[in-house]
Amino acid sequence: MDHQIHISTSLDGDEIVHNFNRVYEAANSFERVTYWIRRINEEYVKRGVVNEVGTYQKVGALLTVTKKTLPRYKEIINTYRDLGLDGIFLRPLNPYGFAASDLKSLGYNMDEFIEFYLRSMEYILELNKQGISFREQLSSIYLSKILTALDPNFLDERSPCGACIGQVAYDHDGKIYSCDEGRMLGRMGIDDFQMAEIGENSKETYTSMIKSDTTKIMVQASTIDGLPGYNDDVYKPYIGVCPIHSYKTTGNIYPNYAIDQKRRL
């Protein structure tokens, strides 16, 4: 906070779902994370830290949606509200990290996710009709792109995507990856999306990152204008593709329009 670094954490819902998703043997995982969300938000108020719209800064919270999440959408949204958070980000589960090893028990098909998303949106709209301000972040991103001249620059839904040129992820050993998804694959033993390693100085590090083959291929593979099917999609101005998701689900960094489940969102 002293250095104006924004703080974000994972909050997977109410106590039942969060503790199921994020087992912490030393303590109650849900109690720990919600304590620190409240504690840090109190400190933002004490310090008078405000965001770009003039309200007090808050901890960012990201939800991982597993099969356990789907029927408990109301409880999860209410948990976010009880913590003073004014929105939630509903995204389907990605096949990376720990999730990749247990997709049979954690995963679901896209129809199940869309049903969950629609029910959640109905509840969020109902809250707003009651005068309770709460939003779903993904729909807000799409609506901003569709209805205004302002692009929120969400790195997953742009062309090219933000990998390497809008974000990078550093691991503890000094390896630099295209994005956090690339870092997660690195932890799984797949270093294909490593850009470089930290060099002797910042200029050397940056040069090796930006000139890497990984950077060039990620930009090429996520530029929609050159991708069959996507290049003339009616929703082309609003969508993006993720080469890493394509690689993990199909074995190819170039997405296949005909079978791309993410496009259905």
User: CA 96, 192, 60: angle at the middle one, nearest 5?
Assistant: 40
Q: Which fold has domain 8-147?
A: TIM Barrel (3.20.20)
User: How would you write the pLDDT of the chain (265 residues) with one tens digit per residue?
Assistant: 999 888 999 999 899 999 999 998 899 999 999 999 999 999 999 999 998 878 899 999 999 999 999 999 999 999 999 999 999 999 998 776 555 556 677 888 889 999 999 999 999 999 999 999 999 999 999 999 999 988 898 999 999 999 999 999 999 999 999 999 999 899 888 999 999 999 889 999 999 999 999 999 999 999 999 999 999 999 898 889 999 999 988 899 999 998 887 777 6
Distance from C-alpha of 100 to C-alpha of 122, rounded to nearest angstrom: 30
For the record, the structure tokens of 252 come out as: 């190819």
Report the pLDDT value the prediction gives residue 97, as an integer from 0 to 100.
Answer: 58
Report the pLDDT value the prediction gives residue 201, as an integer from 0 to 100.
Answer: 92
Distance from C-alpha of 1 to C-alpha of 9, rounded to nearest angstrom: 14
Report the pLDDT value the prediction gives residue 52, as an integer from 0 to 100.
Answer: 81
- Does this model's pTM top 0.75? My answer is yes
The ranges assigned to domains in the chain are 8-147, 169-264
Q: Please, which residues have CB within 8 angstroms of residue 238's CB and are 6 or more apart in sequence?
A: 142, 145, 146, 157
* Among the listed residues 221, 228, 254, 225, the one whose alpha carbon sits nearest the alpha carbon of residue 237: 225
CB 119 within 8 A of CB 73: yes
Distance from C-alpha of 63 to C-alpha of 217, rounded to nearest angstrom: 30
The CA-atom distances, in angstroms, between 263 and each of 130, 140, 224, 254 are 32, 17, 13, 14
CB 42 within 8 A of CB 15: no
First to last CA, the chain: 36
Report the pLDDT value the prediction gives residue 103, as an integer from 0 to 100.
Answer: 65
